[in-house]
Amino acid sequence: MTSQDTASGAPEPFGARLRRAMDTRGPLCVGIDPHASLLADWGLNDDVAGLARFTRTVVEALGETVAVFKPQAAFFERFGSRGLAVLETAVVEARERGALVLMDAKRGDIGSTMAAYADTFLGKDSPLFSDALTVSPYLGYGSLKPAVELAKENGCGLFVLALTSNPEGQEVQHAVRADGSTVAATMLAHLKAENAGAEPLGSFGAVVGATLGDLSAYDLAVNGPLLAPGIGAQGATPADLPTVFGDAVRNVVPSVSRGVLRHGPDAAGLRDAAARIAADVAAAVG
pLDDT in tens, 80-138: 999 999 999 999 999 999 999 999 999 999 999 999 999 999 999 999 999 999 999 99
Q: For residue 17, what are the contacts with CB-CB under 8 A and spacing of at least 6? A: 3, 4, 100, 131, 155
Closest to 69 in 3D by CA, of 13, 130, 20:
130
Bridge partner residues of 134 (DSSP): 159
Q: Provide Rg for the chain, Cα atoms.
A: 18
Q: Which helix (H) or strand (E) holds 152?
A: helix 145-154
pLDDT in tens, 148-171: 999 999 999 999 999 999 999 999
pLDDT at 2: 39
The separation between the first and the last C-alpha atoms of the chain, rounded to the nearest angstrom, is 33
Q: Is the pLDDT of residue 234 over 90?
A: no
- Residue count of the chain, please give it: 286
Please list the active-site residues. Answer: 106
Average pLDDT estimate for 174-201: 97
In percent, the amount of the chain with pLDDT more than 70 equals 97
Q: Which domains does the chain have, with CATH numbers?
A: 15-281 (3.20.20.70)
Whole-angstrom distance, CA of residue 257 vs CA of residue 31 = 4
Whole-angstrom distance, CA of residue 216 vs CA of residue 140 = 24
Q: Do residues 228 and 2 touch, judged by C-beta distance below 8 A? A: no
